Amino acid sequence: MARMTVVGLGSMGMGMAQSLVRAGHAVSGFDVAPGRAEALVAGGGVAATLAEAAAQSAVAVIVVLNAAQTETVLYGPEGIAPLMPKGGVIVSCATVSPEFARDMATRAEALGLMYLDAPISGGAARAASGELSIMASGSEAAFAAAKPALDAMAAVVHDLGREIGSGSAMKAVNQLLAGSQIALMGEALAFALSQGLDLRQVYSVITQSAGNSWMFQNRAPHVLDADYRPLSAVNIWLKDLGIVKDIATGAGVPVPLVDTALAQYRKAAEAGDGGLDDAAVTKVYTRAAGLKLPGEA
């Protein structure tokens, strides 16, 4: 069993770190938020300073929010990459652009480290149960070095080849679809309300029809139950569809549906709903049309 470091103990990272502990690894976890590292230790993690842990870990899993945090964790003033043993592997899980992933990997190589471009998918529950989907690319050696960690964290590892950036590009394709389809769900539910349809019946019919999507099936119940506790927040899509848009712009490929979905998330955030569950994008539509959602007076 191996010594490992996990940086980022949020809703995904904590579950992933716990999955690594459960698989028998000696795991130290870190987060800027107080109490998280201690909670992992209470659940079987190894107490250590970040520098101690990095110096002893041949595997570091980075599960922070975005590119800027990933760069700080790896290469900032207290960055762990220079401290890690040569031949160690960085498993980078945040949703970032392929270009950023390539830059991170180049800098890791210069330090004698390997890099796995390894965005994750599946949500907090599957992170906790060690059943994530991981969309990964990198060298054979990086995959081999990361294997004990991947085995503990993921039900499926999609091997997207040897090019750093392909993992992040695949994740961006998924976010393009997923984020747009949540906004589209909101559009469809508001349209259905405007026609006097019963939303629970709409849910039943659509989930049996060609209009169905994974996101419609998963998120529409949040609207039906008026439960906007953030499993994944509106603000996450401002970030992730923003990344998709940046990649598309760089590649010269039009993404008009992403542009339109992004505009709806922006309106939701401007209305003060950025911290709510992403299904709250539905309110952008119903507010504009003067319609009442379940739970609204």
Nearest distance in Å: CB 146, a copy of itself: 18
The answer to whether 281 and 234 have CB atoms below 8 angstroms apart is: yes
Q: Which residue's CB is nearer to a copy of itself, number 40 or number 120?
A: 120
CB-based contacts of 28, cutoff 8 Å, min separation 6: 3, 4, 5, 6, 37, 40, 45, 46, 47, 48, 50, 52, 53, 57
CB-based contacts of 98, cutoff 8 Å, min separation 6: 117, 164, 165, 166, 168, 169, 172, 247
By CB under 8 A, the residues from 6 to 45 that bind a copy of itself are none
By CB under 8 A, the residues from 136 to 165 that bind a copy of itself are 156, 158, 160-161, 163, 165
CB-based contacts of 121, cutoff 8 Å, min separation 6: 132, 133, 134, 135, 171, 174
Candidates 62, 149, 154, 192: give the one binding a copy of itself (CB under 8 A).
192
Structure tokens at 262: 């992004």
CA proximity to 96, closest of 17, 166, 191: 166
Sheet holding 114-117, edge to edge: 26-30, 3-7, 59-62, 89-92, 114-117
Binding footprint of a copy of itself, residue count (CB under 8 A): 74
Q: How far apart are CA 75 and CA 69, in angstroms?
A: 10
Candidates 187, 231, 239, 246: give the one binding a copy of itself (CB under 8 A).
187
Nearest distance in Å: CB 85, a copy of itself: 32
Candidates 33, 110, 210, 297: give the one binding a copy of itself (CB under 8 A).
210
By CB under 8 A, the residues from 228 to 287 that bind a copy of itself are 244, 247-248, 251-261, 263-264, 285
Q: Which residue's CB is nearer to a copy of itself, number 127 or number 258?
A: 258
By CB under 8 A, the residues from 41 to 60 that bind a copy of itself are none
Q: Which helix (H) or strand (E) holds 168?
A: helix 166-194
Active site residue 171: yes
By CB under 8 A, the residues from 64 to 103 that bind a copy of itself are 98
Candidates 89, 149, 188, 223: give the one binding a copy of itself (CB under 8 A).
188
Per DSSP, the three-state class of 252 is coil
Applying CB under 8 A, the span of 7-15, 76-84, 85-93, 215-223 interacting with a copy of itself comes to 215-223
Q: Which residue's CB is nearer to a copy of itself, number 256 or number 272?
A: 256
Pairing of β 132-136 and β 154-159: parallel
| By CB under 8 A, residue 183 contacts a copy of itself | yes
Q: Which residue's CB is nearer to a copy of itself, number 2 or number 238?
A: 238
Q: Which residue's CB is nearer to a copy of itself, number 54 or number 160?
A: 160
The single residue of 86, 147, 171, 245 carrying the catalytic annotation is: 171
Catalogue the active-site residues.
171
